[in-house]
């Protein structure tokens, strides 16, 4: 497909020159380059209104983000050569960071490949494509991944609702090999069975790995509550650190069944139990039972996925953290997370503080975590810094 020019409106290049790569439909000079003339995923050469070079990218006239910059080098258009270079660069970072092949290999914009996520599970790659531009070059991307990593299996996890905004269909497809939906993953010397074909996201949450490692420095006490536990990453880590009783709460029965499997696999079954139900309802029930814990771990899904969810989402974070704190012993540890980009770190801290006031508790913020280095943050693209994990000591009000 021929590369066509995409001309920006007057004074719309500043954010892109600073390093961002998203172009919104209201930033395009639609008289000079009508968006209706572009096909979804079509490669474009992006220029300012006064003909300043911005970069090579791709367009989608049906999306609010109507174009994305991929290469700022005029001599390096979108091509198999570019994908190979980007994958080699991304792999070099991960091999520098990790001794085992379990990590996020490609993190979209931060690795110069907007619209692409690749998670590595040993010899299996789970690939997620979220934009029409990457969909158009899917064959080139998969060929480059095969050439660089020589995986035994590749799975397309294109079952995310984000694709709808790009006019793309959803589905899961095995591209290479005949992988089983259960394979082992190692984190902190614990072995977990994960499901890259059917599990949440691509089967595992690599972004919290560094934060789970940090638990060791604080001590978790005898009793630990892991809320929104999924398949037990946080809870089993707490059990391995010496907790005598870990209660894992999740709304998914299959996830809790996997918690039990993973606990048995690591000889922690006697210390770990599951509790099925809605997180808020279970927390209220535990409060009625007068249950108390030394550590409470809160790692919910994003309550604020869009700007319009902000008010309700903040109330959900407020309620969840208040309920969690009400179950803590004096001096207990609260580890609470938000993966909502639209809730910034400072707002999240204030929300948890407000929850503490309502619960009659005093907080001491010990540490702030973010996503691990396999999810690098692009300094010019704040959207790539989405995860906040806060470590608090919780005391009676004083």
Instruction: Tell me the pLDDT band of 353, cut-offs 50, 70 and 90.
Output: very high
Residue identified by tokens 């707490």 is 238
Q: What pLDDT sits at residue 198?
A: 93
For residues 109-138, average pLDDT: 97
C-beta separation of 359 from 83 below 8 A:
no
Which of 339, 328, 319, 323 has its CA nearest to residue 384?
Answer: 339
pTM recorded for the entire structure: 0.94
Q: What angle do CA 70, 55, 12 make, to 5 degrees?
A: 110
Tokens, residue 231:
């398949």
Could you give the residue numbers annotated as active site? 339
- Secondary structure (H, E, C), 147-208: HHHCCCEEEEEECCHHHHHHCCCCEEEEEECCCCCCEEEEECCEEEEECCCCCCCCCCCHHH
CATH architecture type of domain 4-71: Roll (2.30)
For 23-38, the pLDDT digits (tens) are 999 999 999 999 999 9
For 85-98, the pLDDT digits (tens) are 999 999 999 999 99
Query: Where do the structural domains in the chain lie, given as residue ranges?
Result: 4-71, 80-176, 205-396
C-beta separation of 222 from 293 below 8 A:
no
For 188-239, the pLDDT digits (tens) are 999 999 999 999 999 999 999 999 999 999 999 999 999 999 999 999 999 9
CATH superfamily of 80-176: RNA methyltransferase domain (HRMD) like (3.30.750.80)
C-beta separation of 391 from 337 below 8 A:
no
* N- to C-terminal Cα separation, the chain: 67
Q: What is the CA radius of gyration of the chain?
A: 23
Q: What pLDDT sits at residue 1?
A: 59
Helix and strand element counts for the chain (H, E): 10, 19
Backbone angles phi, psi at 192, to 5 degrees: -120, 140
205-396 CATH: 3.40.50.150
Q: Which residues pair with 186 in a beta bridge?
A: 191
Which of 228, 302, 239 has its CA nearest to residue 265?
Answer: 239
């Amino acid at each position: 497909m021929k590369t066509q020019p995409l001309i920006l409106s007057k004074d719309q290049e500043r954010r892109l020159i600073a390093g961002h790569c998203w172009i919104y439909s209201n930033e395009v000079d639609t008289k000079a380059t009508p968006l209706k003339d572009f096909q979804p995923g079509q490669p474009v050469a992006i220029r300012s209104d006064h003909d300043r070079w911005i970069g090579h990218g791709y367009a989608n006239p049906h999306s609010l983000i109507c174009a994305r910059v991929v290469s700022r080098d005029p001599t390096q258009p979108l091509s198999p050569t570019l994908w190979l270079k980007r994958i080699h660069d991304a792999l070099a970072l991960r091999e520098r960071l990790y001794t085992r092949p379990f990590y996020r290999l490609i993190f979209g914009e931060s690795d110069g490949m907007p619209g692409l996520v690749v998670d590595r599970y040993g010899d299996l790659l789970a690939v997620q494509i979220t934009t029409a531009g990457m969909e158009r070059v899917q064959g080139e991307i998969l060929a480059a991944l095969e050439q660089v990593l020589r995986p035994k299996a590749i799975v397309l996890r294109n079952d995310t609702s984000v694709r709808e905004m790009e006019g793309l269909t959803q589905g899961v497809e095995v591209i290479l090999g005949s992988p089983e939906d259960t394979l082992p993953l190692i984190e902190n010397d614990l072995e977990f069975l994960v499901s890259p074909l059917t599990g949440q996201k691509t089967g595992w949450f690599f972004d919290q790995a560094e934060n789970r490692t940090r638990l060791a420095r604080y001590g978790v006490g005898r009793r630990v509550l892991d809320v929104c536990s999924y398949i037990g990453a946080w809870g089993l880590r707490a059990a391995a650190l010496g907790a005598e009783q870990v209660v894992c709460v999740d709304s998914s029965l299959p996830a809790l069944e996997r918690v039990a499997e993973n606990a048995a696999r690591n000889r922690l079954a006697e210390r770990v139990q599951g509790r099925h139900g809605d997180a808020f309802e279970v927390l209220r029930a535990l409060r009625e039972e007068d249950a108390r814990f030394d550590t409470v771990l809160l790692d919910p899904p994003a309550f604020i996925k869009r700007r319009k969810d902000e008010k309700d989402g903040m109330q959900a974070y407020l309620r969840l953290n208040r309920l969690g704190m009400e179950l803590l012993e004096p001096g207990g540890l609260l580890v609470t997370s938000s993966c909502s980009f639209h809730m910034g770190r400072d707002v999240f801290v204030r929300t948890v503080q407000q929850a503490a006031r309502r619960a009659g508790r005093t907080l001491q913020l010990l540490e702030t975590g973010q996503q691990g280095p396999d999810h690098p943050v692009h300094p010019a693209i704040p959207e790539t810094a989405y995860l906040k994990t806060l470590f608090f000591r919780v005391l009676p009000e004083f």
